[in-house]
Amino acid sequence: MHNTRYAPNGMVCSVDHLASAAGVAALDRGGSAADAAIAANAVLAVVAPHMCGLGGDLFALVHDGSVTALNASGRAGSGADPARLRAEGRTRMPHLHDIRSVPVPGCVDGWLALHARHGRLPMTELLRPAIGLARDGFPASPLMVAGARTAAGRPGGGDFAGVRAAGDRVTRPGVARALQAVADGGRDGFYLGEFGQGLIELGDGEYTAADLAAPTADWVEPLRVRAFGHDVWSMPPNSQGYLLLMSLAILDGLGLPGSPRHPAWAHLLAEAARAAGHDRPALLHEDAKDLLDPGEIARRRALVQPAGRLRVPVPASDGDTTYLCAVDGDGMGVSLIQSNASGFGGMLFEPRTGINLHNRGIGFSLRPGHPAEYGPGRRPPHTLAPALITRPGGALRTVVGTMGGDAQPQILAQIITRLLHHGEEPGQALAAPRWRLAGGGTGFDTWDAPDDVVLDLEEGTTWADGLAALGHPVRTLPYGGSFGHAHLVDVRPDGMLAGAADPRSLVGAALGR
């Protein structure tokens, strides 16, 4: 149930064994960890449309002697008009079936930027396994089946019409053509080719050709905090990565119980998450600065009480994603997360290729003047928050991340605390039951009313009675993907790699060489 895999010369962990195998094959051919990550993500873009794809966004952290961060999240089109949505009586962005919640997808730009800086193998070679699976067919995963039935009923969702059970063969010829267009023509082959033209048509004024001609990937300065004797890194805004780092910095100054089985352990971690995140709707936008001020961290740490649940002020105003990580024999590590936001995304399909489109625009605000207000060329607040850990001297320790909507920082805080503070093995830290803070039900509304959140506990925890006595509203849910799919590779001091894929993913794999 909690197997850790070991390898001396490279490792790839992902939610699907086909993707992990493609990544390891790239390493075997002399590719870098970046090559492995691209090859694995390309396969996931084919076989895991219920989590990610060419119609979604991408973030990555890379350790190659130093830590760099890649933001490949798309921007709203030139036709973005918040006044029109408000005139329709909307107070928040449409969740499904509305092109206005679809920023220009950044995934392909992310691959190309990562490859340009860190790749060794030709892009054609990296995309070949994904193209073959899309053209010739792949087995439907158990997690795809339920969503595929819904997707098949949407315009453009015909690729999934024959999916009835796990193992059914699925082909995606339009996706194969799109991947081949990237291999042959780079970004123009994709954004200005068949996919781009179809997106403009579907958008009906939301996008212009200039919107698609502008690259969406930027190398940015990562954020960092010191916690549990290590440096933990994540993405800057528009990512919510600061919530993970603030939570860990708060925890590093608290007296945690010796065992994660103690209810006080879950209590303190949950309260650190609430102290860090309660005002996220007001603070998180693409231009946010100074979110990890030490004085502010100390102020929020003081809010956490060992003997009870804190009350936090109401702010002024089931996600699906996939995470993968790769480490190569030269020590480069890549922590990459790629997402549709909600399951198959907005349940909209680009009509020419059948690529399902993300709904990451749900992160925008419709409040006039809000710094994250929906508007042309803007990036929405993002739940995607990959993580990377270095030792005090700067050497790579861990690449880690998870899916899980708003709960991503909460899940990662639990895993990282288990790994760094309690010394658990990767497989043990990933398999252990988790908690999450739950809001209104979409997986993206946790912080709308932070005092009303319920503490969801995964089946198998030992915390329920103790947390209820401390004032937490709790409920128990089945063990599974509602609590994320996390993966990690840990680099031991002697260079041996120890990794694990989340057992909740059912077909995930940590593969090494």
Gap between the Cα atoms of 398 and 395, Å rounded:
10
Contact indicator for 349, 54 with CB cutoff of 8 Å: no
- 150 included as an active-site residue: no
Q: φ, ψ for residue 148 (rounded to 5)? A: -65, -35
**Spatial CA neighbour of 199 closest among 391, 20, 352:** 352
Say if CB 150 and CB 347 are below 8 A apart: yes
The pairing of strands 497-501 and 486-491 is antiparallel
Using CB atoms within 10 Å of the CB of residue 459, give its burial: 0 to 12 exposed, 13 to 18 middle, 19+ buried. Answer: exposed
Are residues 309 and 268 in contact, defined by beta-carbon separation less than 8 angstroms?
A: no
Q: Tally the residues of the chain.
A: 513
Task: Please identify which of the residues 4, 68, 216, 321 carries the catalytic annotation.
Answer: 321
CA angle, 219 as apex, 213 and 221 as ends, to 5°? 145
The DSSP element (H or E) to which 121 belongs, if any, is none
| Backbone Cα Rg of the chain | 21
CA distances from 207 to 102, 171, 199, 275 (A): 10, 29, 8, 39
Which is nearest to 319 in space by CA: 433, 434, 445? 445
C-alpha span between 111 and 324 (Å, rounded): 13
Helix (H, G, I), strand (E, B) or coil at 87: helix
14 φ, ψ to 5°?
Answer: -155, 180
Tokens read off for 56: 């979604």
Residue 6 sits at φ, ψ, to 5 deg, of -125, 145
Measured CA to CA, the distance from residue 123 to residue 27 in angstroms comes to 14
Distances in whole angstroms, Cα of residue 404 to Cα of each of 217, 280, 320, 415, 423: 23, 16, 6, 14, 24
Q: Annotated catalytic sites, by residue?
A: 321
